[in-house]
Amino acid sequence: MFTYNTLKKVLFMFQPETAHHLGEYALRILPNCRLLNNYMVKKNFILNPKLSQEIFGIEFKNPVGLAAGFDKNATMIKSMPALGFGFTEIGTMTPRAQEGNPKPRMFRYPEQKSVQNAMGFNNEGSAKVLENLKKVYPFTIPIGANIGKNKTTPEEYALLDYKALIRKFKDTSDYLVINISSPNTPNLRDLQNEKFINELFSMAKELTDKPIFLKIAPDMEVDVAIELCKTAVNAGAAGIIATNTTIDYSLVPNAQDFGGLSGACLTEKSYELFKEIAKELYGKTTLISVGGISTGEEAYRRLKAGASLVQSYSGLVFEGPSMIRKINEEILELMQKDGYNHISEVIGSDLK
């Protein structure tokens, strides 16, 4: 019987970025293969009212979404229900197209079920991505747009990049995400300061009433991260996404000394920072947790800690296309075990 483990052996013969392109090609053509696509949607997309929730007037049929970085150019949106995702986040997009960092820039660590990437916001640019988005938006699941500044844009002009991107994507996405936490654009994380955050969200509020999230890095001191998140929320952020990849290279033996680590090695680091942020902000804003989530047990832990939604990406590399279905099934099992009738009872239950 054909399994993902069989396919994985083939894919792992290729460089990680090549394997990603092969996966992208398959997902781009999947919607054209209606029988297969419909079969996968029926098999993987868990449709259970216990998991459905409305956030910002948007229906999320299940709480597990695709994290940014996988679908940079909005070419795979139509295949996301076939993988079981309740929502998807495209990008990171920059105003102008850019090639990203020199190759090789993606590395697998199978023993640690982790990935390291130094992609550097490689994407086809906002105009092309917008063209792709207009073909599918609005879609059957919510779409988030993750935006970042161009590498060549000086720090003092970063605000203009984000302004242009918000204007461009506010009408073709259900929410937006400000990415100033990737480790792969030089000095980008320097923008994680209160002055820039205040200016950014004050500007954003004037441009759109769409929900705009701030995505933060896992490598900040807890107190600094909490204050930054508070500043963002007070300035108009609709919520916080925690966390991006980490530059703590001690988490994986023989890791590269550049780029960001994700996957299982990030699980505890991401959870611990998220938990502390949630203690301060749960009930005051919407929280999304991402980083090392590949099981229902871990997703459930994040929900209990205060996440309304969770995201995953790197786990797909190791677990395959049935992962999201299994996560949602495990969440339902754990809810039944704990006597919860709806996901809203789970969210933040550790803090109540």
Q: Counting Cβ atoms within 10 Å, is residue 94 exposed (0-12), middle (13-18) or buried (19+)?
A: buried
Residue 311's DSSP bridge partners are 65, 290
Phi, psi (degrees; rounded to nearest 5) at 179: -105, 105
**198 annotated as a binding-site residue:** no
Asked if 131 and 172 touch (Cβ cutoff 8 Å), the reply is no
Residue 240 in contact with residue 218, Cβ under 8 Å?
no
Task: Report the Cα 107 to chain-centroid distance in Å.
Answer: 19
Question: Is 18 annotated as a binding-site member?
Answer: no
Residue 94, marked binder? no
* 286 among annotated binding-site residues: no
The response to whether 9 counts as a known ligand-binding position is no
Each as own residue / partner, the long-range contacts of residues 336-343 (CB below 8 Å, 24 or more positions apart, any chain) are 341/50, 342/49, 342/50, 343/50, 343/51, 343/52, 343/53, 343/63, 343/303
150 is in an annotated binding site: no
In terms of Cα–Cα distance, which of 268, 272, 209, 201 is closest to 237? 201
117 is in an annotated binding site: yes
Spell out where the chain has E strands: 53-55, 58-60, 64-66, 87-93, 106-109, 114-117, 143-147, 175-179, 212-216, 239-242, 260-263, 286-290, 309-312
Does residue 71 have a known ligand-binding role? Answer: yes
121 is in an annotated binding site: yes
Token pair in block for residue 270 = 């991401």
Catalytic residue from among 181, 182, 289, 308: 182
Q: Is 86 annotated as a binding residue?
A: no
Dump the DSSP string for 254-280.
T--SSSEEEEGGGHHHHHHHHHHHHHH
Q: Is 92 annotated as contributing to ligand binding? A: yes
Asked if residue 340 belongs to a known ligand binding site, the reply is: no
- Residue 263 annotated as lining a ligand binding site: yes
- How far apart are alpha carbons 268 and 289 in whole angstroms? 12
First to last CA, the chain: 46
**5 marked ligand binding residue:** no
Indicate if 182 belongs to the active site: yes
Q: 184 a known binding residue?
A: yes
239 annotated to a ligand binding site: no
Q: Is position 146 annotated in a ligand binding site?
A: yes
Name the β-bridge partners of 55. 58
Q: Is position 313 annotated in a ligand binding site?
A: yes
Closest CA to 91 of 321, 313, 266: 313
Q: Catalytic positions, please?
A: 182
Annotated binding site for substrate: 72, 117-121, 179, 184, 244-245
What residues are designated binding site for FMN? Answer: 68-72, 92, 146, 179, 215, 243, 263, 292, 313-314
Pick out the residues of the known binding site: 68-72, 92, 117-121, 146, 179, 184, 215, 243-245, 263, 292, 313-314
